[in-house]
């Protein structure tokens, strides 16, 4: 089931939650809606589910498999929805929760009691909760509740699965396990899936395609690798992980010099290389080491350029750290392997010349 939604506008009172948002999800894909809180991602999801409707007369349309479902109520869209805090029915057992949708069907479509029991058993196995059908939600752990919510959402074989911050309320370890499990699960039942998250790591690891939202609009769409390597705006590059931001004293290749307006240069910490020789080339940045943090896979080195106050960070392997024998207070040369230069929020350049030449950003 493919999903297409276009020209979505949504206002709550004076607050603009969505400003002309369009997204397209091909059949069977796992797509992530990623953005900071208040960016409108949950509103998109709720409009797709039929829990909210686009502003009247704004021209917003939701299509499932080419059929216009904009005005179809939630219960008739064939959508499975998993809520951020699970929204399990607390007074019902796990089995009753899972079978709720089947039991709510009109009499002639409703499966027999035996068929419902069999389906519940099958689903409990699928989400690895065999034998817990008679428990109440309060007797389960967070991860188990999440899987009950998932089983309940897919019990009636929906054509689309929508998940709102599905791992938001879980601790780090369970979160990681569960998202890998969800990936395998989604591949197994091949259901078109959209999930909302504010966690870039989660989005990049799990999704086939990432839709990044900011301020009620879509900032960028693309596969994880692509949005990470080619962020289209300062917002995207800053949102997708740690990045050093320079507004003066460095620049991209010569082209940047000609542009007017404010230029900003971004370098990811893992694209910063530290070298000991006085000057590998003319434009290397002489910097002083402020702090070394070496617990973890990589060592993080905080530096300050000579003559500048703002600190920046380099991420180097621990082997490299040992090899260089870096000490706090030492002066080193810094070279950028890969930069992104923006002027007035427009992307300008991304590569550093062979000679590492950097020009002033005005």
Partner 1 sequence: MAAILSRVRHDTVPTTNSATTEPTWVRWLLIAVTVGFVTLFLVLPLIAIFFKAFEKGLIPYFATFKHNPAYTPTYNPADAVNSILLTLKIAAVAVPLNLVFGLAAAWAITKFQYKGKSLLVTILDLPFAISPVIAGLIFILIFSRTHGWLGRALKGEGLFSRWIQHIDENIISLKIIFAFPGIALATIFVTLPFIARELVPTMQARGRDEEHAALTLGAGGWRTFFTVTLPNVRWALFYGIILCNARAMGEFGAVAVVSGNLRGQTTTVPIFIEMLYHGYGSDVNAFALATLLALLALVTLVLKNIVEWRVAKSREA
Q: Does 156 bind partner 1 (CB under 8 A)?
A: yes
Q: What is the DSSP string of 156-222?
A: T--SEEEEESTTTTS-HHHHHHHHHHHHHHHHHHT-EEEEEES-HHHHHHH-SEEEEEETTEEEEEE
For the record, the structure tokens of 23 come out as 């997204």
Span near partner 1 by CB under 8 A; candidates 69-77, 228-236, 273-281, 303-311: 69-77
* Most distant CA atoms of the chain, gap in Å: 82
**Nearer CB in complex with partner 1: 41/305:** 41
Binding segment toward partner 1, per CB under 8 A, in 23-31, 46-54, 182-190, 330-338: 46-54
For partner 1, which is the closer residue by CB, 25 or 88? 88
Cα(330)–Cα(340) distance, integer angstroms: 28
Reduced to 3 states, what is the DSSP secondary structure of residue 293? Answer: strand
The one segment of 70-78, 172-180, 265-273, 351-359 that binds partner 1 by CB under 8 A: 70-78
Q: In the beta sheet, which residues pair with residue 256? A: none
Q: Decide: is 104 part of the binding site for partner 1 (CB under 8 A).
A: yes
- Pick the piece of the chain touching partner 1 (CB under 8 A) from 56-64, 80-88, 192-200, 336-344: 80-88
Among 1, 33, 49, 237, binds partner 1 (CB under 8 A): 49
Q: Is 41 in the site for partner 1 (CB under 8 A)?
A: no
Q: How far apart are CA 61 and CA 70, in angstroms?
A: 6
The residue among 85 and 318 lying less far from partner 1, judged by its C-beta, is 85
Given the rule CB under 8 A, which of 56-64, 150-158, 254-262, 272-280 is the region that contacts partner 1?
Answer: 150-158
Q: Is residue 242 packed enough to be buried (19+ CB in 10 Å), middle (13-18) or exposed (0-12)?
A: exposed
Q: Are 9 and 54 in contact (CB under 8 A)?
A: yes
89 binds partner 1 (CB under 8 A): yes
Alpha-carbon 57 to chain mean position: 31
Q: Which is nearer to partner 1, 3 or 79 (CB)?
A: 79
Q: How far is CA 222 from CA 212, 248, 359, in A?
A: 9, 31, 31
Q: Is 51 in the site for partner 1 (CB under 8 A)?
A: yes
> Does 91 contact partner 1 by CB under 8 A?
yes
Q: Which stretches of the chain bind partner 1, using CB under 8 A?
A: 49-51, 73-76, 79-81, 83, 85, 87-91, 100-101, 104-105, 136, 138, 152-153, 155-156
């Amino acid at each position: 089931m493919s999903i297409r939604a276009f020209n979505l506008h949504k206002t709550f009172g004076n607050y603009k939650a969505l400003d002309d948002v369009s997204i397209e999800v091909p059949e069977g894909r796992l797509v992530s809606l990623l953005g900071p809180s208040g960016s409108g991602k949950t509103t998109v999801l709720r409009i797709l589910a039929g829990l909210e409707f686009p502003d009247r007369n704004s021209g917003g349309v939701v299509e499932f498999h080419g059929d216009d479902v904009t005005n179809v109520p939630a219960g008739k869209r064939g959508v499975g929805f998993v809520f951020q805090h699970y929204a399990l029915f607390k007074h019902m057992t796990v089995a009753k929760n899972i079978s709720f949708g089947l039991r709510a069907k009109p009499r002639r479509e409703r499966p027999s009691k035996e068929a419902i029991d069999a389906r519940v058993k099958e689903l409990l196995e699928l989400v690895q909760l065999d034998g817990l059908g008679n428990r109440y939600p309060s007797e389960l752990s967070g991860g188990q509740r999440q899987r009950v919510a998932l089983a309940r959402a897919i019990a009636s074989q929906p054509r689309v699965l929508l998940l709102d911050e599905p791992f938001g309320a879980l601790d780090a370890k369970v979160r990681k396990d569960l998202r890998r499990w969800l990936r395998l699960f989604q591949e197994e039942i091949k259901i078109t899936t959209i999930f909302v998250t504010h966690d870039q790591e989660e989005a990049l690891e799990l999704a086939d395609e990432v839709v990044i939202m900011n301020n009620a609009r879509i900032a960028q769409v693309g596969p994880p690798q692509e949005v990470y390597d080619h962020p289209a705006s300062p917002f995207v590059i800053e949102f997708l992980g740690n990045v050093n931001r320079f507004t003066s004293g460095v620049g991209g290749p010569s082209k940047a010099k000609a542009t007017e307006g404010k230029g900003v240069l971004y370098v990811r910490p893992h694209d910063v290389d530290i070298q000991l020789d006085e000057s590998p080339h003319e434009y290397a940045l002489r910097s002083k080491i402020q702090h070394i943090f070496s617990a973890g896979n990589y060592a993080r080195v905080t530096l300050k350029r000579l003559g500048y106050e703002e600190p920046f960070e380099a991420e180097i392997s621990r082997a490299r750290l040992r090899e260089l024998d870096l000490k706090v207070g030492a002066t080193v040369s810094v070279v950028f392997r890969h930069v992104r230069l923006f002027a007035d929020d427009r992307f300008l350049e991304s590569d550093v010349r062979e000679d590492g030449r950097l020009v002033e950003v005005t």
